[in-house]
Amino acid sequence: MKTAALTRVSEFEWRIEPTGNMRVPGVIYATEALIQAMDEKVRDQVVNVACLPGIVSASYAMPDAHWGYGFPIGGVAAFDADQGGVVSAGGVGFDISCGVRCLRTGLRRSDVEPFNERLADALFRRIPVGVGSHGPIRLGGAQMDAMLTGGARWAVEQGWGTRDDLKYIEGQGCIADARTDAVSDRAKKRQRDEMGTLGSGNHYLEVQEVSEIHDRETARVYGLDEHEVVVFIHCGSRGLGHQIGTEYLKTMATSARRHGIELPDRELACAPLRSDTGQAYLGAMRAASNCALANRQIITHLARQVFAELLPEADLTLLYDVSHNTCKLEEHMLDGVIRKLFVHRKGATRAFGPGHPDLPDEYRAVGQPVLIGGSMGTASYVLAGNANPRVPSFASACHGAGRAMSRRQAHKSWQGGRLLKELRERGIIVRSPSLRGVAEEAPQAYKDVDAVVDGAEEAGLARKVAKLRPLVCIKG
């Protein structure tokens, strides 16, 4: 395939004009430096997504975009069911509803720093991490189904957290219309012992310091101030979500031709939104989203226990929880008309602007918190969503730095033990069960998160509120 040509629309927006089977243009938001460093396969995948039935407006890529399975990671696309639109398992990803949760602690760095070593050890002991990690919770059949339909609300009912938490979770802690009958027994079995676990790869729990404030008024509304300590939790639906993604990708790939869908790439396997397969996948995906919300809720409870033991003056309150691997039915204005669209965000964060009715009352005037995860040794960010009609990316922003090299390349380039030593010398304490995993997640294997966030802000996707510096990292 010949790499698609880019036309520069503005300093931070690039366009691929429709050719061949493209139904809409492709749009990439990025600085020139990020575009030059971006894998050209991202353009190919943006083009392929633009060929899918029922896509509206454009096939979008965020500043952190990199090559993924079918859709680029950092890809956004919306589909209209009334126009034969589809749902794509590759457009959500294998780690369904992977997302980030931010907790305030009410403490300052000077309060926490003397306890960093003990905090790292205690969190590492209490919260299971790594490939196939199991926790102390074991769910039977009825409990599994209750979790898959109840999400974080179910977790709170079981005693993991408080009802106050639910107000600050996307969907108030529960995604409606989940279907447990659309989730296989194998997927449920994989999740039976994995609730309250971080998993592996780029998942983590970090204790961080607010190192810079960029928007003081919004930071005040969010309850953030310089040198205060927060906790980021980054994980998703674990083995259950991966199994659902694997199974439905196969089903969609074999049924595509029956639905009259010509796939530009088998990895873009999809099904009409109104087909039995499409409806089953949406139900299973929503169940996996509830699994992810419940998982982050349980991990929050475990983190609170650790802080209560070591720093009893801490008060871990939820700032926000938002996913970045989803397909959500949302209302968006297109050409002056409000339409109900199924918005795929794969490695992209929902970023509703000021005034949106789905936001908590306290945040409605300033916009949704947009949580941007870092890469173990680099910064994370809290952004705020913009109400910007000039940027029609379905209220979406980046989700992190985005990988600059594969895990295999990273493992060949760095040694885990040496990285741990270098990070400690910079005041960052890391605990991980795998030195190989540390090497694969080396900060240098990712793009410059500052440049990515600057690009997102300058493109109008979201605005910077606070920069966060890691102190302690529990790494999967």
Residues involved in catalysis = 399
- Assigned token pair, 77: 């696309």
Q: b/e for 220-258, b at 16 or more Cβ within 10 A?
A: ebbebeeebbbbbbbbbbbbbbbbbbebbbebbbebbee
Report the distance separating Cα 416 and Cα 307, nearest Å.
Answer: 28
Residue type, 317: T
Closest of 282, 285, 334 to residue 86, by C-alpha? 282
Question: 3-state SS of the chain: helix, strand, coil percent to 5?
Answer: 40, 25, 35
Question: Please, which residues have CB within 8 angstroms of residue 271's CB and are 6 or more apart in sequence?
Answer: 86, 87, 251, 252, 255, 256, 259, 261, 277, 278, 281
Dihedral sign (CA 348, 349, 351, 357): positive
Q: CB–CB of 348/375 below 8 Å?
A: no
Report the distance separating Cα 445 and Cα 438, nearest Å.
Answer: 11
70 Cα distance to chain centroid: 17
Cα angle vertex 54, ends 392, 21, to 5°?
95
Closest of 54, 53, 62, 51 to residue 25, by C-alpha? 51
Report the distance separating Cα 311 and Cα 316, nearest Å.
Answer: 11
Q: Which helix (H) or strand (E) holds 58?
A: strand 55-66
| Half-sphere exposure in the Cβ direction for 164 (13 Å, CA) | 7
Q: What is the dihedral of CA 99, 103, 109, 113, to 10 degrees?
A: -80
- Assigned token pair, 107: 């403490």
